[in-house]
Amino acid sequence: MAPPFNRGVTATPIDTHEARRIRSFVLRQGRFSPAQQRAFDQLWPRFGLDYAGTPRDFDAAFGRRAPRILEIGFGNGEALLHSALRDSGRDHVGIEVHAPGVGRLLNALAAADVRNARIYRHDAVEVLENEIADAAFDEIRIYFPDPWHKKRHHKRRLVNPGFAALLLRKLAMGGRLHLATDWRDYAEQMWDVLDATPGLTNVAGARGHVARPDWRPQTHFETRGRKLGHGVWDLLYERSEPQVRD
């Protein structure tokens, strides 16, 4: 069963724990087309993963055992679709809370007859905490998370020390964490957090970034931003054994 679509919802705390946790997203009203509604009605059983709050057997979900990639906050799904099509040997799991983007990706996956992608429409923190086993993923990707650019909203940013520790647990040893942002001060915060996380090694060196890799397609908005002189920072980390200090 597809998760319910709720127009105009801005917050959905379900218990006191949820009410206390600061969320990194706000569910805003958006245009939800008839085609996207049909996608939920017809395609969710094929591609959707219903949140149950218990550990997920991804081998059963995909019908095979394969390396896995997780994308958190996939937006309209362009990067996930691109990766699933070019990397058929690995299974792709996406998480997104905004229904229109989920609907678009459902339609795109069906049109391309993709077999190696499944998606959640749920809070990523809850999925990571309750449905994903430790060391379950070979790669985790977070592309252009909400920058919450006003200083008073920085507390809502997804990348913080607690979240970094959670991501580390879900990565297999030698696994890769790839983030991208077009906000310099958010890149600075990511470096502050991730470079200081024991067990994560910045591939480009401390406070370093890499050129956009071929597995991340350049979006329309990114292309437009680059023409205007805006920067984009790709941060790439690997999970390694934490250094033991004397």
Q: Which residues are catalytic?
A: 146
* Residue 76 · residue 107 · CB < 8 Å: no
| Alpha helix (H) residue ranges in 31-116 | 34-47, 58-62, 78-86, 99-111
Sign, CA torsion 115/125/77/177: negative
Q: What is the DSSP letter of 231?
A: -
* Residue 175 · residue 136 · CB < 8 Å: no
3 state SS of 153: helix
Beta strands in 79-170 (DSSP E): 91-95, 117-120, 137-143
